[in-house]
């Protein structure tokens, strides 16, 4: 089947922590400047670019290990939506739903080296939608993680994404951003590691008709599309945030990276539509 799931040094710490902005207001995007911008498209997220340090403060790295003797490693992304809650994808937990096997890392930027701003949090419980993969493949692809501790939002590297309202319609929204550490095009074809630096890409979401025009009957209620033939989420981005600017100027998390082509090109990616699942989210965040 063509559709495959996306199963997919310290930087002046004292000075930056003193001068950087805090993110106590949800949906507040950080600065986008970085010390080095990639010039080779083949090194990018699938034609994205390096994100700035703290530019997407709600972005988390979901880390997993099957056994306690094996170090945890990045498998998926996720979105910090409350001080102790993370939104992610159900398919990220197909290998295990045991909370102790997972860690949520916040303040992450360079995933293979420390910047002195990362902090890891133990997971208290994992809530996967009971109808995941029912009645259609990759339907209801949504999950919540409750953390054992609250995340401190007073610094410049951790913040919340805003939640949309149920009446909000983000189809054909223009100012939208994807972020993550997923495989790049070079990573797929050349077998290299995912990018160390958090990647970003911007663009509009698709209309429902346009998405169905690409994917047909595979599109079910609760799915929204983003991406082009050349710009796309990929394996490792799974569970991560698609955010769009709301009327107040802040960013709502409107999509969760779910599925697309195995090659991560030539088709838009499909995301779990957050507005559709707001009742489920509110019911389970207790």
Active-site residue flag, 238: yes
**What phi, psi does 281 have (nearest 5°)?**
-65, -50
> 102: exposed, middle or buried (C-beta count within 10 Å: 0-12, 13-18, 19+)?
buried
Give the span between the Cα atoms of 121 and 125, in whole angstroms. Answer: 12
Nearest Cα neighbor of 210 from 164, 267, 140 is 267
Give the span between the Cα atoms of 250 and 243, in whole angstroms. Answer: 9
Q: Which residue of the set 50, 141, 237, 252 is catalytic?
A: 141
The structure tokens 């040094």 sit at 9
Residue 115, C-beta contacts closer than 8 angstroms, at least 6 positions apart: 9, 10, 11, 53, 107, 109
Q: Which residue of the set 91, 110, 129, 140 is catalytic?
A: 91
Strands of 83-222 (E only): list them: 85-88, 102-106, 119-128, 143-147, 176-180, 199-203
Give the span between the Cα atoms of 218 and 3, in whole angstroms. Answer: 9
Say how many Å lie between the first and final Cα of the chain, rounded.
38
Active-site residue flag, 91: yes
Chain-centroid distance of CA 203 in Å reads: 15
Chain-centroid distance of CA 143 in Å reads: 12
Active-site residue flag, 179: no
| Contact by Cβ (8 Å): 201, 49 | yes
Residue 198, C-beta contacts closer than 8 angstroms, at least 6 positions apart: 50, 51, 55, 56, 59, 108, 109, 110, 111, 179, 180, 181
Tokens (6 digits) for 266: 């030539």
The catalytic site residues sit at 91, 141, 238
């Amino acid at each position: 089947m063509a559709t495959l799931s996306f199963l997919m040094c310290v930087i002046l710490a004292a000075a930056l922590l003193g001068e950087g902005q805090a993110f106590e207001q949800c949906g507040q995007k950080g600065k986008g400047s970085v010390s080095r911008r990639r010039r080779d498209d083949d090194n990018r997220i699938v034609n994205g670019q390096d994100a700035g340090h703290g530019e997407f403060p709600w972005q988390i790295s979901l880390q997993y290990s099957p056994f306690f003797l094996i170090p945890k490693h990045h498998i998926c992304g996720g979105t910090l939506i409350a001080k102790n809650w993370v939104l992610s994808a159900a398919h990220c937990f197909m290998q295990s739903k045991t909370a102790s096997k997972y860690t949520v890392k916040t303040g992450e930027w360079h995933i293979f080296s420390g910047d002195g701003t990362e902090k890891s949090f133990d997971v208290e419980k994992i809530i996967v939608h009971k109808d995941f993969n029912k009645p259609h493949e990759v339907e209801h692809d949504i999950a919540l993680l409750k953390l054992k501790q609250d995340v401190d939002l007073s610094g410049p590297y951790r913040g919340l994404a805003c939640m949309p309202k149920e009446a909000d319609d983000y189809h054909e929204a223009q100012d939208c951003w994807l972020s993550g550490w997923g495989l790049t095009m070079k990573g797929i074809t050349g077998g290299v590691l995912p990018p160390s630096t958090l990647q970003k890409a911007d663009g509009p979401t698709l209309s429902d008709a346009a998405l169905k025009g690409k994917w047909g009957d595979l599109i079910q209620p609760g799915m929204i599309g983003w991406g082009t033939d050349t710009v796309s989420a990929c394996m490792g981005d799974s569970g991560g945030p698609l955010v769009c600017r709301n009327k107040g100027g802040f960013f709502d998390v409107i999509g969760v990276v779910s599925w697309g082509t195995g090659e991560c090109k030539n088709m838009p990616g499909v995301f779990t539509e957050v507005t559709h699942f707001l009742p489920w989210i509110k019911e389970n965040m207790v």
